Structure 1
Amino acid sequence: MKTLISFRTIYMLLLVASILFLTISETKGNNIYPGDEAYAIAVEKAPAPIGGLEAIVKKITYPDMAIKTRTEGKVYVLVFINENGEVDDVKVVKGIGAGCDEETIRAVKKTKFSPGVDKGVNVKTKLAIAIQFKIPS
């Protein structure tokens, strides 16, 4: 009787599957960046910029490079907000370049947020924000 799959092939497949399983179970699949485990994603009351998104947009100066290159679009950032509503860090998830990413980070870091609340307690929270860049007419 001829074996279609050798024992060595089965052993290698099991080994690869085990390594993949261990890697996925270690990361738990919910962290985008290392070190952000202490920040909650889902809370009873999500943080929000004081003054709304308009407060962030008012702090943005359209970069000269973006005007020269006619760069438009949305910059998506992940904002790490502490228990006091202050911005600890900002990470660009998807940028458009030409200085718009850096300008978004600068404006978001200058903004005060209402803190995230979970079970009646202020908590560290992650918040995703998209900032639209459109060349002024």
Structure 2
Amino acid sequence: MRTIFAIIFLSAGLISQAQINPTRDSSKYSDPQNMDVVYTAEAKCTVGEDLMYKTIYAGINYSEEAKKANIKDEVLVSFDVNFDSKLQEFTIVHGVGYGIDEQIIAAIKTLKFDAAVMNGIKVRQNVMLTIPIRTYPEM
């Protein structure tokens, strides 16, 4: 009987050590596609969505070639907002060319973002923005 109690006591001690403890290491929560993570708060631009898009559009200087091309498309940009709110890993998933894609990334880099929060811990989150682009010669 004492042997059984000793085994149960030791097992309980070992099991309690195997529990996962929260960490501030953002690499533990890496999920590039945001498939498995449920965030308490999503990463977001500090100035709000409307001003964010106004800032992005203000940062685009359309070339004459772009204006003449009559572009009716969207730029899809993917980037990470790190746990310290720094932006990194920019990727143009779908671009329109004419230097517009690069200008959009440069404009996004000027913006401030709040990091995503999961269980009270700031974590990295992938953000994807769709920016509609319309050009015409009379611009």
Aligned-pair distance for 1:126?
A: 0.5
Question: Quick check: 1:61 aligned with 2:60?
Answer: yes
Maintained 8 Å contact 1:56/1:107:
no
SS in 2 for 1:97: coil
SS in 1 for 2:97: coil
% identical equivalent positions: 21
Residue aligning to 1:46: 42
Structure 1 unaligned segments of length 5 or more: list them.
1-36
Maintained 8 Å contact 1:66/1:72:
no
Q: Which moved more, 1:58-67 or 1:94-103?
A: 58-67
SS in 1 for 2:30: coil
Maintained 8 Å contact 1:69/1:98:
no
Aligned-pair distance for 1:48?
A: 0.9
Structure 2 unaligned segments of length 5 or more: list them.
1-28
- RCO comparison, higher one (Cα < 8 Å, 6+): 2
- What one-letter code is carried by the residue in structure 1 that aligns with 2:46? I
Once residues 39 and 125 of structure 1 are traced to their aligned partners in structure 2, the CA distance between those partners, rounded to angstroms, is 7
Aligned-pair distance for 1:74?
A: 1.0
- What one-letter code is carried by the residue in structure 1 that aligns with 2:45? P
String of CA shifts for 1:108-127, please: whole Å, max 9, x gaps.
Answer: 12211111000011001101
Normalised to the residue count of structure 2, the TM-score between the two structures is: 0.62
Maintained 8 Å contact 1:90/1:108:
no
Residue aligning to 2:9: none
SS in 2 for 1:80: strand
Normalised to the residue count of structure 1, the TM-score between the two structures is: 0.63
